[in-house]
Amino acid sequence: MAERRLPHIVLFSGGTACRSTNLALLSRPVRLTRIVPAWDSGGSSKVIRESLGVLAVGDIRQALMTMAHGEGRAGDVVKVCNARLTSGTQADACTEFALYAEGRHPLLERMEPGLRGAILNYLRTFRAAIGGDFDFRNGSIGNFILTGAHLAHNRDINTAIFVFRKLCDIAGHVWPSTAADGVALSATLNDGTRIEGQHRVTALEEAAGRTGIREIALSAAGGGVPANDAVLESLESADAILFGPGSFFTSVLPHFLVEGIVPAIARNVHARRIFIGNILQCRETRGLDLAHMLEVAGTLWRERGGAEARPFTHILANRQLLPFEKTVGAFAYLGNGALEEACMRLGAEAVIGEFEDPWQRGHHDGRAVAEVVSALLPG
């Protein structure tokens, strides 16, 4: 008897917002592929990008570590790849990095020689490329290893990810939506103000957030931002394509701007296309509701080659339990707005449920989302 093919779910996402959904899906009999942004411009990724002019690896490494956690991988390699250096003095951070790069860290000393040798090779490649004045403070060892692999394998990020997955024994796939180096995100507000850099857009001050984002753009050093071939292959075999949860204008919507992504999704007429609405507004979406966000996504879909195909088949929306605006900390719950009308225009079906985690206000209950997604998979 032939082995039953597991459903393939492709998840367009950013970082932490979809963590619970990612983990919950891994507990089910599915194959999971995460598609992450390649325009991360903050934190450790920012320093590496500016120093080497390479593709940002922070979101890739974070997604790979989520895969490792969901798959129960907790060995020494995963511990090394998930480690961060001290945020104390620069001298201490350099000393700590040397413990890893020279193989004197206890986790590396007890590691099998082949694994240790591969990790040391990538760390030393990174050290040689980065130069002597690099600030290692709070740096991610996983980012250093992945960047070193990227450089060691002729700047082929897909090969670097393959090697990283093998080192950590990760089964799930993670790909950046584009393999181009130096991709940058920018946003133009409704008053014409231009904001450069993903980290600045996602951290909009309240006044700018309420002004609202009119449009976003991607650019790269080489000109265009072509889709990663591995992503196009994943979309071809997908049974469900998920969008979010995550920062709408910086983590979810920009994937539509990558050349070839929208047509590839449109060609797969078999897959469910599921948009997962956020629980809360954020700095990017102050004053917006889900219906408005769907209209923005639908417009960009058509502009990028979606033609008559509908961008989403289903919209997962959190049930509105109160007739007034409620907040969690600095942000209000995301209202659904004129959701029925938006779904009619997009040709999508609204699936309204209680998707908030009962233990973490403002966060998704990954199990509830995974249960609905599993029920929507094609028979």
Tens of pLDDT, residues 17-33 = 789 999 999 999 999 99
Q: What is the pLDDT of residue 270?
A: 94
Closest residue by Cα to residue 10 from 18, 184, 168? 18
Taking only the tens place, the pLDDT of each residue in 320-341 is 887 788 888 889 999 999 999 9
For 91, left (φ over 0), alpha (ψ -120 to 50), or beta?
Answer: alpha
CA distance 271 to 355: 22
Q: What is the pLDDT of residue 4?
A: 63
CA distance 29 to 155: 34
- The tens-digit pLDDT sequence of the chain (379 residues) is 334 689 999 999 877 778 999 999 999 999 999 999 999 877 767 778 878 888 889 999 999 999 999 999 989 999 999 999 999 999 999 999 999 999 999 999 999 999 999 999 999 999 999 988 899 999 999 999 999 999 999 999 999 999 999 999 999 999 999 999 889 999 999 999 999 999 999 999 989 988 999 999 999 877 789 999 999 999 999 999 999 899 999 999 999 999 999 999 999 999 999 999 999 999 999 999 999 999 999 999 999 987 777 999 999 999 988 778 888 888 999 999 999 999 999 999 999 999 999 999 999 999 999 999 999 998 7
DSSP state at residue 351: E
Domain chopping of the chain, boundaries = 8-38+179-376, 46-51+73-171
DSSP state at residue 250: I
DSSP state at residue 249: I
Please, which residues have CB within 8 angstroms of residue 340's CB and are 6 or more apart in sequence? 350
Distance linking the first and last C-alpha atoms of the chain: 19
Distances (CA, A) of 357 to 20, 360, 367: 9, 5, 9
3-state SS of 49-108?
HHHHCCCCCHHHHHHHHHHHHHCCCCCHHHHHHCCECCCCCHHHHHHHHHHHHCCCCHHH
The secondary element (H helix, E strand) that includes residue 242 is strand 240-243
Helices (H), 153-289: 157-168, 198-201, 206-211, 229-236, 261-267
Taking only the tens place, the pLDDT of each residue in 136-161 is 999 999 999 999 999 999 999 999 99
CA distance 260 to 226: 7
The angle at the Cα of 153, spanning 38 to 162, to the nearest 5 degrees, equals 65
Q: What is the pLDDT of residue 374?
A: 97
Q: What is the pLDDT of residue 3?
A: 43
Distances (CA, A) of 98 to 221, 331, 336: 32, 42, 51
CATH 3.40.50.10680 fits 8-38+179-376, yes or no: yes
Extract the tokens encoding 64.
Answer: 């790979």
**317 by DSSP, 3-state: which?**
strand
CA distance 379 to 108: 47
pTM comes to 0.94
Closest residue by Cα to residue 29 from 56, 4, 52? 4
